[in-house]
Structure 1
Amino acid sequence: MAETGAVAPTIRTHVAHSMAGERLRYLVERIERLQKELSGLRTRNPALADAYAAERRSVQEDLRNAWSEAKTTGFDAEALREIIRLRSISSAQRMGLERTVSIYKQALGMP
């Protein structure tokens, strides 16, 4: 009986982490998609800017709602922004950046 009690919390913890990971992925991908959509609306023909104003406002509202949902769910907005920024660069660039930051941190005596 003691084994069952010890295993159950581990399974619940794994399921909770899995669900949080899925929720995190959903929110990050949703925010990235909305940001890309908004960026596309901004680069269209300036002569048609008024025609796209309502669509732009709608996407901006969806983006605000996504960020609000992330915060309400308990995710840190600053960390999410950093993750989204890191996902936008190639893995080679990311690795180079991480190496450089590590060198700078060492030079400054930061852990």
Structure 2
Amino acid sequence: MSDAAAGFAKEQLKSFIERVERLEEEKKTIADDIKDVFAEAKGTGFDTKALRAIIRRRKADPGQLAEHEAIVDLYAQALGMIPFERTPLGQTMEG
């Protein structure tokens, strides 16, 4: 590799590293901001676990979410935690 090519590769590598470092710092700043929002929500009386669950649900694929919730309901019904009539399948069979 020529000196010019090696110098270019070195600068390109340095540029990649510096960009990742800047992005990592931005990621840390954003994570801190999110933490602050949750602390503010908690301070006003909101349950942060519930907020996180809602955020996860909103990100999820609707089909996969429905399938997951149906499985959870099935397991809960099998354990006697909820009556069959209150599950989506039970409600479908009633209607």
Q: 1:68 pairs with 14, 31, 39, which one?
A: 39
Return the offset for 1:46: 5.5
Consecutive unaligned residues in structure 2, runs of 5 or more: 1-15, 83-95
How many Å separate the matches in 2 of 1:98 and 1:49? 38
How many Å separate the matches in 1 of 2:76 and 2:62? 21
Q: Which has the higher contact order (CA 8 A, sep 6+)?
A: 1
How many Å separate the matches in 1 of 2:80 and 2:46? 30
Consecutive unaligned residues in structure 1, runs of 5 or more: 1-44
Identity %: 37
Q: 1:106 to 1:72 in 2, by over 3 A?
A: same
How many Å separate the matches in 1 of 2:66 and 2:24? 39
- Deviation beyond 6 Å, 4+ runs, structure 1: none
- The TM-score with structure 1 as length reference comes to 0.51
Alignment length, in residue pairs?
A: 67
Q: 1:80 to 1:46 in 2, by over 3 A?
A: farther
Give 1:81's aligned amino acid: R
**1:79-94 mapped onto 2 (5 Å cutoff):** 79-94=50-65
The structure whose Rg is larger is: 2
- The TM-score with structure 2 as length reference comes to 0.59
Could you tell me which residue of structure 1 aligns to residue 22 of structure 2?
51
Let me know the Cα RMSD of the aligned residues: 1.9
